[in-house]
Amino acid sequence: EVLGIRRKGAEGEWRANVSTGGNAEFVPLDSELIEMAKAIASYLNMRVCSVDFLKTSQKKHVLIEVNFTPGMLQKIFKNQIAQKILAFIKKNVEERKKESA
Identity of the residue numbered 83: Q
- Residues 44, 62: Cα–Cα separation, whole Å: 17
Q: What is the pTM of this model?
A: 0.75
20-76 per-position pLDDT tens digit: 888 888 899 999 999 999 999 999 999 989 999 998 999 999 999 999 877 767 767
The CA-CA-CA angle for residues 51, 88, 41, to 5°, reads 25
Question: What one-character-per-residue DSSP string does 23-63 give?
Answer: EEEE----HHHHHHHHHHHHHTT-SS-EEEEEE-TTS-EEE
User: Can you tell me the distance from the alpha carbon of 20 to that of 9, in angstroms, rounded to the nearest whole number?
Assistant: 8
Domains with residue ranges and CATH for the chain = 5-100 (3.30.470.20)
